[in-house]
Structure 1
Amino acid sequence: MEQPRPEIISWLQEALAKQNAGNLGGALLAYRRVISRDPGLADAWCNLGSVLHALGRDEEALEACRRSLELHPANPAAHTGLGSVLGATGDLAGALDHFREALALDPGNLVATSNLAGVLARLGRLEEAEAWDRAALALRPESPELNLNLGFTLMRRGRLGEAEAQFLASLRLGPLPKARWNLAYVRLLQGRYREAWPDFPARLEVPQGLDNLRGFSEPAWNGSPFPGRTLLVWVEQGLGDTLQFVRYLPMARALGGKVLFQTYACLRGLLGDLPGADRVLTEHDELPPFDLQAPLLDLPALFRSAPEDLPPPARLGPPPGHEPPEALRRLLEAPGRKAGLVWAGSPAHQDDDRRSLDPALLGALREVPALAWASLQMAPRATPPLPLVDLAPHFRDFSDTAWALSRLDLVITVDTAVAHLAGSMGLATHLLLPYFPDWRWLMEGTSSPWYPSMRIHRQPAPGAWEPVLRDLARDLAHGS
């Protein structure tokens, strides 16, 4: 490794101290000053890449890491840094290559070992990911983060008992919100709701949940009666979560004075007359005064719900007198049995690759007799090899979606908001799930305690959609 010139050693030490202290802006300026005086210093470029990556400036980070490797191709830290940036930008194959190169140069490189496991998990190569998670943990057994990582991989493999043990081990070593959230998650998957609820609030403390937090000064509601006061219940996550949990609003209202419910604008028409809400607002409305507040997903925990005593779904449907677009009405005028299809969720969802399916697989439904197919697919996607009537271009909001669903005989969907809307409307709903599902669907079973009219079809192994479609086609052919 090259030695910096004596006159800039102090600058390099200053940059590294600022980086280690979390002063990323100061470290960025310090590394740039070092490089301006000695552009051939590979370690400075490598560290600059790490700082830029931490700041979210990944295009610049890629350039810095590649410059470091040009100067010192056998630097494991630079390979590790470049692998991290490539993984963050979606180039998983490139990330794997650089992590493996780092490990060839430095077999005990903990960051490369752990990050390699993470990329393998993202690729669905969970058996390999587990092996590398265990290798990382062997290098640092007392790390709460590495115990958490192994637990997460085990959970995705369906080994829930082992996963729970790792999350508990992580929490014994350090108070990681992510370990608390995953502990709640693994218990929810098993239907152990009352054990899970104490750790459920950690969902808003992990990076994926922090954006959903609100900075209200009003106190959080603890589930106690609040006569004469006003409670604001606010949405925190996706559209499907909102449709699922509005069933709790009447229970909250029964304990107090007024309930305000703040939801998304696209749900305003659908939820405008929601039982349990004195007033429904959107995120664009000015909030009136209120005394207490709670995120919507706190309510099942506050009421200590369990799968055997869940409140029934809110009876959703198109608003009274709703007039859909004429083109949508015409598309659904034809007689005969009609089935709605959704085969993919939002491309922006972090689990989209796992939850969505290749529409070509829906060709297995061609032989189902006496069904006309209607697409409810919102995000632009490839279409299945079926004679489809495309309804989605005519949807203005979820009121139109609900009106269309009310004209269908059954709905077939992956895990999207449509599943929750159809279930809340009491429609015959076939839900297609990946091997590792969202917690609300439990890990096993063909029925859902949340929606009595729903039948669940599960992957028997990660990525195995073909058996799911065969099972679905068989059920439809027999009229189930």
Structure 2
Amino acid sequence: MRREKGYHRARQFQTHLPDRPIGWRGWVIEATFDGAGEAFDRCFGSGLRHVGAGSLEAAACSFRTAAAIRPEHPVVWFVLGLVLRGLGRGDGARLALRTALHLRPDDADTLFQWASLLIERRLPGEAVAPLRRLVALRPGHPDAAFSLGNALMAVDEPERAESAYRLAVLLDPGSAAANNNLGAAFLSQCRPEDAAVSYRRAVRLEPGSAEHHKNLGVSLLTAGHFAEGTAEYEWRSRQAVWQWNRDCPGTPLWDGGPLAGKTILVHFEQGLGDTVQFIRYMPVLKAMGARTVFECQPPLKRLLADVPGIDALVARGEPLPEVDCLVPLMSLPHRCRTTAETIPGGVPYLRADPDRAAFWRRRIAEAGRPGEVRVGIQWRAAGADRSIPLERFARLSHLSGVRLYSLQKADGPGRWERPDDRLGIVSLPDRDGKGEDEGFVDTAAIIEGMDLIVACDSVVGHIAGAMGRPVFLALPWLGDWRWMRLPDRTPWYPQTRLFRMARRNDWDGVMARIAAEIAVLVARRAAGLS
């Protein structure tokens, strides 16, 4: 699954372009005519001429000499820092700009350039203080409030970022980027309706921006407004960063029209979990009279072999049959005019291989005790924000009558990741296939042998949900749009319960609620109740 940040970075400064940095001209006049001395003026003037000619190496040399002559002069350190930054010499630029700031701590241009350098060097937390100082001194300084908002978003403080972006919008209401980023601050606070208002402004100001449209789509989908949300989400494939477009020259995109007698290629996009979730649409296409071809990620081919509605299943890299049209998998909700009330069901549409399920039932029984509640767990997702620190599962491992089994796949093919033995999590031995990737076939078989799956928002949770198995899905503060804002249930998987964070970064709270529910399950089983 792909997680979009949905906000623009600050614009970057280039020292050798005609649009020189804010304050450059005033600083130059001051430095040249303040009676600093002939040698200083000569070196400083030479540096300026080199900058004008685009010779930044020579300019840096001249400014260094000027700084040696007048080390107490903030101007020369300021321009030296800009030139070194333009040369990509971050350490030198940091030293020069820090010296300039020390000599003139309340200068707006130096504060801005210092903070911009810190953001560029991925130190947004250090950039917050100078940007706050700058906004306090000169609220209208170009890009100051916008950059402060970006720095605060990068350190996960969207409430404060909201205030900064509001100021940026107030100062420049025609800025599509500021309105877009204000929307991102709202969405990061789980306020999708407010986010949509700001994203709509961004779209009106920059109607050709694929990013603004896509962000609007995400906010609308999160709020459960599928009809408009899926239409706006279609803009995702026009983003420059998009990497899942399929190049099939001469094959048109399916526009949602009649499919009777036609062969349609549906190709995957984004993550493994997305494929498992949205492949439910294949029977919908089949019911429209189409012959269906699905192109999947290679690791999923064996797992998806028996999914209903697929006439031909191919893995990326394998030859494709001739088709009449194609469509990205996650465009099917829009093309099929899905609403939150008409999400296709069909669960279970994934099933475990009977032989592998029998094999793993024996292994599971050998690893535990009769009567225990068997809980399969996955803690690590592709995105760090969706991953659960493994130690948070300690609450579950300490429950009486419960045995935890690892479903976490390692990075290498055909291997499980072995958790810390201190938590008592079972890593099932003797994977079949002699090190070959089992393509999630064994994962599904082990899921079949569990009483419950507890997973982060990842492919394992989707597989278990598509199999109709009981799942406790642990979601971060900002859950993905597909889970909408429903409190604890999802129309995608009827046997899945959602456990959302009540406040940001509170995995402890999520796991405490999950542990309490599992304890109830254990008690009901002990009492002979279902």
Task: Provide the rounded CA distance (Å) in 2 between the counterparts of 1:196 and 1:384.
Answer: 45
Between the two proteins, the alignment pairs up a number of residues equal to 448
Q: Is 1:455 aligned to residue 497 of structure 2? A: yes
3-state DSSP of counterpart to 1:341: strand
Task: Provide the rounded CA distance (Å) in 1 between the counterparts of 2:299 and 2:460.
Answer: 13
Deviation track 1:398-424 (CA, whole Å, cap 9, x = no partner) reads 112111111111101111111110100
2:93 aligned residue: 65
Structure 2 CA distance for partners of 1:112 and 1:452, relative to 1, 3 Å = same
Contact 1:79 1:101 (8 Å CA) reproduced: no
Deviation track 1:362-394 (CA, whole Å, cap 9, x = no partner) reads 222245332211111235697596321024994
2:426 aligned residue: 389
The 5-angstrom pairing of residues 120-139 of structure 1 reads 120-139=152-171
Contact 1:142 1:173 (8 Å CA) reproduced: yes
Task: Provide the rounded CA distance (Å) in 1 between the counterparts of 2:142 and 2:240.
Answer: 23
Q: 2:255 aligns with which of 218, 222, 229?
A: 222
Q: Is 1:12 aligned to residue 45 of structure 2? A: no
Structure 2 CA distance for partners of 1:214 and 1:163, relative to 1, 3 Å = same
The 5-angstrom pairing of residues 297-446 of structure 1 reads 297-312=330-345, 313=347, 315-319=349-353, 321-322=355-356, 330-331=363-364, 333=366, 334=368, 335-336=370-371, 337-346=373-382, 349=383, 352-353=384-385, 355-378=386-409, 383=420, 386-391=423-428, 394=431, 396-446=438-488
Q: TM-score, normalised by structure 1?
A: 0.83
Q: Is 1:163 aligned to residue 195 of structure 2? A: yes
Task: Provide the rounded CA distance (Å) in 1 between the counterparts of 2:318 and 2:80.
Answer: 49
Q: Which structure 2 segments of 5+ residues have no match?
A: 1-26, 33-42, 66-75, 105-109, 411-416, 432-436, 525-530
For 1:152, give the aligned amino acid: A
For 1:372, give the aligned amino acid: R
Structure 2 CA distance for partners of 1:14 and 1:310, relative to 1, 3 Å = farther
Task: Provide the rounded CA distance (Å) in 2 between the counterparts of 1:376 and 1:392.
Answer: 12
Contact 1:360 1:384 (8 Å CA) reproduced: no
Task: Work out which of the two has the higher radius of gyration on C-alpha atoms and give 1 or 2.
Answer: 2
Task: Provide the rounded CA distance (Å) in 1 between the counterparts of 2:53 and 2:365.
Answer: 69
Structure 2 CA distance for partners of 1:220 and 1:37, relative to 1, 3 Å = farther
Structure 2 CA distance for partners of 1:34 and 1:154, relative to 1, 3 Å = same
Q: Once structures 1 and 2 are overlaid, which stretch shifts more, 161-170 or 379-388?
A: 379-388
Task: Provide the rounded CA distance (Å) in 1 between the counterparts of 2:357 and 2:448.
Answer: 13
2:82 aligned residue: 46
TM-fit CA distance, 1:283: 1.8
Deviation track 1:158-189 (CA, whole Å, cap 9, x = no partner) reads 22332221111222211232221222112211
2:206 aligned residue: 174
Task: Provide the rounded CA distance (Å) in 2 between the counterparts of 1:181 and 1:359.
Answer: 33
The 5-angstrom pairing of residues 172-251 of structure 1 reads 172-175=204-207, 176-206=209-239, 210-217=242-249, 218-251=251-284
Contact 2:223 2:484 (8 Å CA) reproduced: yes
2:14 aligned residue: none
For 2:94, give the aligned amino acid: R
Q: 1:86 aligns with which of 121, 124, 128?
A: 121
1:21 aligned residue: none
Task: Provide the rounded CA distance (Å) in 2 between the counterparts of 1:447 and 1:76.
Answer: 48
Task: Provide the rounded CA distance (Å) in 2 between the counterparts of 1:12 and 1:393.
Answer: 66
Structure 2 CA distance for partners of 1:277 and 1:39, relative to 1, 3 Å = farther
Overall identity of the aligned pairs, in %: 29
Q: Is 1:151 aligned to residue 190 of structure 2? A: no
Task: Provide the rounded CA distance (Å) in 1 between the counterparts of 2:263 and 2:89.
Answer: 49
TM-fit CA distance, 1:8: 6.8
TM-fit CA distance, 1:281: 1.5
The 5-angstrom pairing of residues 107-126 of structure 1 reads 107-126=139-158
For 2:119, give the aligned amino acid: S
Task: Provide the rounded CA distance (Å) in 2 between the counterparts of 1:301 and 1:232.
Answer: 16
Q: Once structures 1 and 2 are overlaid, which stretch shifts more, 329-338 or 227-236?
A: 329-338
Task: Provide the rounded CA distance (Å) in 2 between the counterparts of 1:215 and 1:47.
Answer: 43
Task: Provide the rounded CA distance (Å) in 2 between the counterparts of 1:216 and 1:405.
Answer: 37
Contact 1:345 1:416 (8 Å CA) reproduced: yes
Q: TM-score, normalised by structure 2?
A: 0.76
For 1:12, give the aligned amino acid: V
1:263 aligned residue: 296
For 2:269, give the aligned amino acid: E
Structure 2 CA distance for partners of 1:162 and 1:37, relative to 1, 3 Å = same
